[in-house]
A and B are shown apart, each in its own frame.
Chain A
Amino acid sequence: MATLYWEEEIETLPRVGLESIQLRRLRQLVARVYATVKPYRDKMEKAGVTPEDIRSLADLRKLPFTVKEDLRDNYPFGLFTVPLDEVVRVHASSGTTGKPTVVGYTWKDIELWASIMARALTCAGAHKNDMVHNAYGYGLFTGGLGAHYGVEKMGATVIPVSGGNTKRQITIMKDFGSTVLLSTPSYALNLADAMDEMQVDPKNLSLRVGIFGAEPWSENMREEVERKLNIKAVDIYGLSEVMGPGVAMECLHSTRGMHVFEDHFLPEIIDPDTGEVLPPGEKGELVFTTLTKEAFPIIRYRTKDISRLIYDTCECGRTLVRMEKVTGRSDDMLIIRGVNVFPSQVEHVLMGIKGVEPHYQIVVEREGNLDTMLVQVEVSTTIFSDEIRVLENLSKKIQAEIKDMLGVTCKVKLVEPRTIQRSEGKAQRVIDKRKI
């Protein structure tokens, strides 16, 4: 099968050429950010670095990191480089406490994103004749709309089905002849189960390829999705702080990682403890600098995702570096049914309820294909009552507020004091029993 490219020249450019594009764009970006965004300028001044100091790609490491807290401190629009009247869209993801992380796009950003996403779709073997079933959530989450514009840009047909209503999704798949599925991998398995219930044989559907992302998944899960849906399953990577879906994409040849579209997103791997840049091929925390975004560029954003960069040439002919499937996190963020959850958010909710002490534990499990989250809360004397009703209402209130703040339904279990293990100074907040 001949490889399809969306932008063949750049995707197969020898690395020397690619690096010269990266350097030119990096220098422009740093100068622009320095001139327009005070928080960036302040940080650079504190680090004793000016835009003139960036003379090679290696100089990137002189620049200070950007972390999620920087986005929170400048909530909502403080890190935008353009006036709000030039911003045509915002997206948001969950912050570590209370406030979400907000990102913005100019019209040029939206067009750029669409074209990068079209590149990603093409990389996964999709083309203009495809009927693309987009089951990523539409809304503040970047998944749905990000993928949507890419499909349109590519010239294929997009079905903006979003998440949920699984049986209707299967009917649509059957009737419309969906050929490409975009969803979280766990939702793909849900679809497979529902097909089984509805006695729909995937072999009779037109589905050919699934592009899965937004949550960690293993090779075993890939094998399972491929077998159950009778498709080829490929991995996509993205995060709203950097752009959204389409930062990196697996091709049909590689099982060793996703091609990073590095003419737009410059990756680094650092030691999460020291912040030192690690040599090529070593495992560490992934850091991204956006090279071309207008409204919300970001410099050296610490993703907290653990991965490794592979510089070998890929069979598909792309010279773009590959990032290995994300194998973990350097922080305590959990991904539950595609939603980012920080234990600190749960704590924030609990502390907001009168009398509740911050003795809690989150237990995450995978039942069937679905992640479940159980929040165990110790019953202190202050919240205890001799009436069942009072305690049940408390547990419902906690559940409702967590749902409200995180967008995730959880189960709440009231437990006796001191049942949650206290280790040396730091309690174990999360027990993740999922085997991903």
Chain B
Amino acid sequence: MKVEQIAIFLENKSGRLSEITRVLAENGINIRSLSLADTADFGILRLIVDKVEEAERVLKTEGFTVGKTNVIAVEVPDKVGGLASVLKVIEEADLNVEYMYAFVNKSGENAVMIFRFEEVDQAVKVLLDQGITILSGAQICAL
């Protein structure tokens, strides 16, 4: 039920982001979603791609520092209070969200949010117990 995300270390200098997208494109890898976090000195690019292993390999070959992490793709009702209801569950279970970002495509009538939890397995359990839909890697790549 977990989705593999790749993260890439980036110095804040021009051309790096386009370099990554070029490498992925040349290798026929599709970016499904991304989020960029940055500080004054560096940034971390997080990607959900259709071919994770392949993406990791080609980026490493190009000299990037790449890491893999498990995140959770959660269906969020696309209506007022939709995200609030999911976050309420998370808060009540005392789960720590490291970061989150939105997935580009919708899953039926629902939006999809990517969550990075400190304790992934526990988070999966809590969300499923509360009847919240979690999507697998294959599922979100098919959206």
* Neighbouring A residues of B42 by C-beta, 8 Å: 379, 391, 413-415
Task: Give A381 to B60 CA distance when docked, in angstroms.
Answer: 10
> A385 interface residue, CB < 8 Å from B?
yes
Interface string of A195-226 (1 = CB under 8 A from B): 00000000000000000000000000000000
Assembly CA distance A57 to B9 (angstroms):
62
- Say yes or no: A416 contacts B63, CB within 8 Å: yes
Q: What separation, in Å, do the CA atoms of A332 and B11 have in the docked complex? A: 28
Expressed in whole angstroms, the Cα–Cα distance for A389 and B37 within the complex equals: 11
A303 interface residue (CB < 8 Å to B) = no
Dominant SS among interface residues on chain A: loop
Is the pair B64, A416 in contact by a Cβ cutoff of 8 Å? yes
In whole angstroms, what is the CA distance A385 to B99 when docked? 13
Q: Is B111 an interface residue when CB atoms closer than 8 A count as contact? A: no
Q: Per-residue CB proximity of B90-127 to A under 8 Å, as 1/0? A: 00000000110000000000000000100000000000
B residues within 8 A CB of A417? 63-65
Asked if A416 and B41 sit within 8 Å, CB to CB, the answer is no
Task: Output the nearest chain A residue to B66 by Cβ-Cβ distance.
Answer: A381
B66-A414 in contact (CB<8A): no
Q: How far is the CA of A386 from the CA of B101 in the complex (A)?
A: 13
In residues 50-108 of chain B, which contact A (Cβ within 8 Å)? 63-67, 69, 98-99
Complex Cα distance, B125 from A162, in Å, reads 62
Give the interface size bracket for A toward B: 10 to 19
B5 CB contacts on chain A under 8 angstroms: 386
Given A379-B9, A392-B39, A386 and B63 touching (CB < 8 A)?
A: no
Q: Complex: how many Å from CA A386 to CA B65?
A: 11
In the complex, the answer to whether B11 meets A385 with C-beta atoms within 8 Å is no
Any B CB within 8 A of the CB of A384: yes
The answer to the question of B44 belonging to the interface, with a C-beta cut-off of 8 Å to chain A, is yes
From known contacts A415-B11, A416-B10, infer whether A384 and B99 are also in contact, taking CB-CB under 8 Å: no
Chain A residue at smallest Cβ distance from B118: A387
Distance between Cα atoms of A380 and B66 in the complex (Å)? 9
Taking a contact as CB atoms under 8 Å apart, the answer to whether B98 and A387 are in contact is yes
Residues 341-388 (chain A) with a chain B CB within 8 angstroms: 379-381, 384-388
Binary CB contact string for chain A from 396 to 409 against chain B (1 if under 8 A, 0 otherwise): 00000000000000
Closest B residue to A419 by CB, please name it: B11
Q: Are B69 and A386 within 8 A (Cβ)?
A: yes
Chain B residues, Cβ within 8 Å of A389: 98
Q: Is A168 an interface residue (CB 8 A)?
A: no
Q: Which of chain B's residues have a CB closer than 8 A to the CB of A386?
A: 5, 7, 44, 46, 67, 69, 116
Shortest C-beta distance, A224 to chain B (Å), equals 32
Distance A423 CA – B126 CA, assembled complex (angstroms): 53
Contact present for A388 and B9 (CB under 8 Å): no
Residue of B nearest to A389 (CB): B98
- Tell me the minimal C-beta distance from B141 to chain A in angstroms: 19
Docked-complex contact A387 and B99, CB < 8 angstroms: yes
The interface of chain B, by Cβ under 8 A from chain A, is 5, 7, 9-11, 16, 37-39, 41-42, 44, 46, 63-67, 69, 98-99, 116
Given contacts A379-B42, A386-B46, 9 further A-B contacts (CB under 8 A): A379-B9, A380-B65, A384-B9, A385-B67, A391-B42, A395-B41, A416-B10, A416-B64, A417-B65
A residues contacting B by CB (< 8 A) are: 379-381, 384-389, 391-392, 395, 413-419
